Amino acid sequence: MDDVGKSLTKIIKERKWNEEFNNLMQNVMKDPDVVQFIQEHAEELDNPAIEKSAAKLYEFVNEKKKYQDNKANQLAPGYEPKLIMNHHYIDVTYVPTSELVAKQREKSIKNLIHSMDMPKGIREATLDEFQSTNERQEALIEAIKFVEAYTNEPKKFQRGLYLQGSFGVGKTYLLGAVAHALAKSGFPSTLMHFPSFAVEMKQSIGQNTTGEKIEAVKKAPILMLDDIGADSMSSWIRDDVLGVILQHRMQEQLPTFFSSNLAMEQLEEHLTFTQRGEDEPLKAQRIMERVRFLAKEVTMQGVNRRQQQYENE
């Protein structure tokens, strides 16, 4: 090992390189990875080749140090520098670390979850981390059953879930966890906070974008409507937005989830009365027929887990 280092030092000296460079290269040549690499490739490397590779060796030693110290100014953060042979010279290549690979995978998973007006952390929810209690076990089991059935037979109609329960029991969290599990298998879903969507729809009237927005939601391969029934709806939102979306999804048999503080029966009552106070039980019944076709009601109970609020709530 020492021999290699010595002979290199000799070359550098003989060439009378300036002292600064000389000092730098002496350190580089002492680096155990450099020494080992040169030994391993002794047959392919002669002194002029090593000399010509000096800049690469220098880069390697420098970047390796930054990588090991986890410095912010690395040439390729998340990549570990490695020495390789490249046409008889030494070169540096950057190999993605397992953490980076995991991070990239997590990012591509998240990209399959389209969330609209949802809490920030929702795309990180996972079924594995869902803390189950007796009162929420049924919902978890149903969620897992859905993911299994859908990932096995995505073309076949699978009924979604209507998660019903009081504030803070984890309905939104469970929707996020289902979306995450589906994304892991490559299936995209759209999660949206229904009351915000309704407001956005109203604002888009007159901008000609209403139809476009409804189309996108209608056709989402998997749709999750969060917090339905939280606000009173206008008859327009109920019949021409929600009704149209659900009608299409029923016809096309597209999986649809809901979460609500209200049980289905209470939602029906809620939908009967519009913002203007009109009493329209038939209209409400029509919506509920679609909801019932699309989703199975599951009750979640338990304590309010909202000690820490989501960031954008």
- What tokens does 23 get? 């000092």
Displacement of CA 76 from its chain's centroid (Å):
22
CA nearest to 288, candidates 251, 255, 250: 250
Is 83 in a helix, a strand, or coil?
strand
Nearer Cβ to ligand ADP (25/222): 222
Among candidates 193, 198, 187, which has minimal Cα distance to 152?
187
Distance CA 89, CA 53 (A): 6
Residue 197 site contact among Mg ion, ligand ADP, none (CB < 5 to 8 Å, cut-off depends on kind): none
Q: CB 313 → Mg ion: shortest distance, Å? A: 9
169 is an interface residue for ligand ADP by CB under 6 A: yes
Residue 62 or 301 with smaller CB distance to Mg ion: 301
Question: Rounded CA gap, 219 and 190, in Å?
Answer: 10
Partner whose footprint covers residue 167, from Mg ion, ligand ADP, none (CB < 5 to 8 Å by kind):
ligand ADP
The helix-helix angle for 2-14 and 32-40 (nearest 10°) equals 100
Minimum gap (Å) between residue 170 Cβ and ligand ADP: 3
* Binding-site member from 10, 86, 152, 167 for ligand ADP (CB under 6 A): 167
Instruction: Compute CA 250 distance to the chain's CA centroid, rounded to the nearest angstrom.
Output: 28
Segment interacting with ligand ADP (CB under 6 A) among 15-23, 129-137, 183-191, 282-290: 129-137
Whole-number Å distance between alpha carbons of 162 and 149:
17
How wide is the angle at C-alpha 260 spanned by C-alphas 191 and 207, nearest 5°? 50
Applying CB under 6 A, among 58, 146, 173, 194 the residue interacting with ligand ADP is 173
Of 149, 236, 213, 154, the closest CA to residue 188 belongs to: 154
d(CA 160, CA 158) in angstroms, rounded, equals 6
Considering only the C-alpha atoms of the chain, give the largest distance between any 2 of them, rounded to a whole number of Å.
98
Is 164 a binder of ligand ADP (CB under 6 A)?
A: no
Residues 280-309 that bind ligand ADP (CB under 6 A): 305-306, 308
Taking the complex as a whole, how short is the minimal distance between the CB of residue 173 and Mg ion, in angstroms?
8
Residue 131 contact among ligand ADP, Mg ion, none, beta carbon within 5 to 8 Å by kind:
ligand ADP
Residue from the set 160, 170, 195, 243 that interacts with ligand ADP by CB under 6 A: 170
Among 130, 146, 162, 194, indicate the residue that binds ligand ADP (CB under 6 A): 130
| Strand order through the sheet with 160-165 | 113-116, 189-193, 223-226, 256-260, 160-165, 295-300
Out of 77, 78, 96, 168, the only residue in the binding site for ligand ADP (CB under 6 A) is 168
Q: CB 163 → Mg ion: shortest distance, Å?
A: 9
Judged by beta carbon distances under 5 to 8 A according to partner kind, the member of Mg ion, ligand ADP, none in contact with residue 243 is: none
Residue from 172, 256, 260, 274 binding Mg ion (CB under 5 A): 172
The residue ranges that bind ligand ADP (CB under 6 A) are 129-131, 165, 167-173, 305-306, 308, 310
